[in-house]
Structure 1
Amino acid sequence: MSAEVLPLRLTAAMATKIAREIASDTGRVAFSSHARSQMRKRGINATQVYRCLRAGVLAEGPYVDIHGYWRCAFETLTAGDSIKAVVAFNSRELLIVVTAI
């Protein structure tokens, strides 16, 4: 399956739709080693991050990072805690969790 190319301009609504679409399948969400480390340090689990990505509000972005990936942050209240998940993606195939706050 070939990856669908993302548009040169990505609106907040488009970024939210794409991220939620990808996050609906946990097999298409990858966690960077930095994200895993920060999650352990802050007591955040993967279920909270998935919930943030699927139902949270766009808090930052979208913008293109130095590696050419679209990057944005989602925020929500889950399990009594405010969670922010920063993600990167360059196709509709995989969402990379960069960090969780």
Structure 2
Amino acid sequence: MCLTLTEAKQKLRASARDTSRIKLTTHAKERMKERCISMKQIICCFEHGDITEGPYLDARGTCKANVSVRTAGEYITATVAFKETANGDLSVVVTTF
């Protein structure tokens, strides 16, 4: 089962307050470097961004959402997968553009 829009926003804002909850995939790190997107911009996206697509379940059953914000003069979007672990919730940045 996937999150509601309100639940997804709450998890994003909580991750922005506690950045240890934000994890980056190798692919996301590569795209950030390629597109000159900083971790600070990703945090801004979590804190102030709007969910522009989702939340939705992908083919593997993972709840994801696209979150967009204008930061540092440009629009960025992060695709975020919401995961639950024994240590709490994680927001995994899958890719950025």
Is 1:22 the counterpart of 2:18? The answer is no
2:4 aligns with 11
Unaligned runs of 5+ in 2: none
Unaligned runs of 5+ in 1: 1-7
Of stretches 78-87 and 11-20 in structure 1, the one that deviates more from structure 2 is 11-20
DSSP-derived class of the 2:89 partner: coil
Q: Which consecutive segments of 4 or more residues in structure 1 shift more than 2 A?
A: none
Is 1:96 the counterpart of 2:84? The answer is no
How high is the TM-score relative to the length of structure 2?
A: 0.88
Conserved 8 A contact 1:32-1:96: yes
How high is the TM-score relative to the length of structure 1?
A: 0.85
> How far off is 1:9 after superposition?
4.7
Is 1:73 the counterpart of 2:66? The answer is yes
CA RMSD, 1 decimal: 1.3
Give the counterpart letter for 1:88 in structure 2: A
Identity across aligned pairs (percent)?
36
Is 1:63 the counterpart of 2:56? The answer is yes
